[in-house]
Amino acid sequence: MSLPDTLFLLAALPAAMLVGFGKGGLPVVGMLGVPVLALVVSPVQAAGLLLPIYVVTDMFGLWAYRHEFSRRNLAILLPGAVAGIALGWATARAVPEAAVTLLVGLIGLAFAVERVANHHRVRRPHAADVPRGLFWGTVTGFTSFVSHSGGPPFQVYVLPQQLPKMVYAGTNTVLFAIINAVKLIPYWHLGQVSLANLETMALLFPPAILATLLGVKLTRIVPEEWFFRLVLAALALISVKLIVDGALGLGVI
């Protein structure tokens, strides 16, 4: 095996497992997959290479959370998400990825800061309402298509509902499983997924699947209060990274 192949596998193996842990319900780790693989290939190529890993691990996440998700939230979010993916596909050549990344980071960080600043307030759970759900679903689908960063918009909409831990994790898993499946068509059309990619990444399916199942077990073990603290901390950290990435891409810093 040549040195470039060795370097690729050294980055691709942990990247695939991070995706699997995220699909198992653990916050933050799933979004680290693309940045890790981007150490050895371009970010755009990393996103395309990892999409089959997302889709395969989604299947096992769907099985694990088949009884634990919010049907109402999915019914509201999915139409917007599909519309957002279509919008991302239609504007793929025109919308700067860095600008979208920066905007998503600013939204996520503002939400996280507000939640922390007012953590002593007693909050009533928000209902899953159609106008907000369609809006944030569209933002989730669009940003997931453009930069694999649909997590923060989803959290901005769902976290105020104060769903039970496993229902939150299951809703997240089911929603993004469908989003990733829908994204296969436009990604293939844009040349970001190919048969050569599938042959390369198929070697990483077993460790990614194992990580998914382990992630489900860890999600069930973590106490609910600490789980949502981790979710909020993950949102803040991811948002800061997105802001930095977007600003670098735009040449602001």
- Encode pLDDT of 121-179 as tens digits: 767 888 999 999 999 999 999 988 887 778 889 999 999 999 999 999 999 999 999 99
Other Cβ atoms within 10 Å of 30 Cβ, number = 28
pLDDT surpassing 80 at residue 245 = yes
Is residue 186 within 8 A of residue 89, CB to CB? The reply is: yes
Out of 1-5, 58-62, 200-204, 231-235, give the one with best mean pLDDT: 58-62
Is residue 80 within 8 A of residue 140, CB to CB? The reply is: yes
Percent of the chain at pLDDT > 90 equals 39
Collapsed DSSP state (helix, strand, coil) of residue 91: coil
Q: Pseudo-torsion of CA 79, 187, 167, 14, nearest 10°?
A: -170
Other Cβ atoms within 10 Å of 233 Cβ, number = 14
H-state helical runs in the chain: 3-23, 33-37, 43-64, 71-90, 97-117, 130-147, 151-158, 165-189, 195-201, 205-221, 224-250
What range does the domain containing 27 cover?
3-250
Other Cβ atoms within 10 Å of 221 Cβ, number = 8
Longest dimension (CA), the chain: 58
| Number of structural domains found in the chain | 1
Token representation of residue 227: 């789980």
Query: What pLDDT, on the 0 to 100 scale, is given for residue 2?
Result: 44
pLDDT averaged over the chain? 86
pLDDT surpassing 70 at residue 1 = no
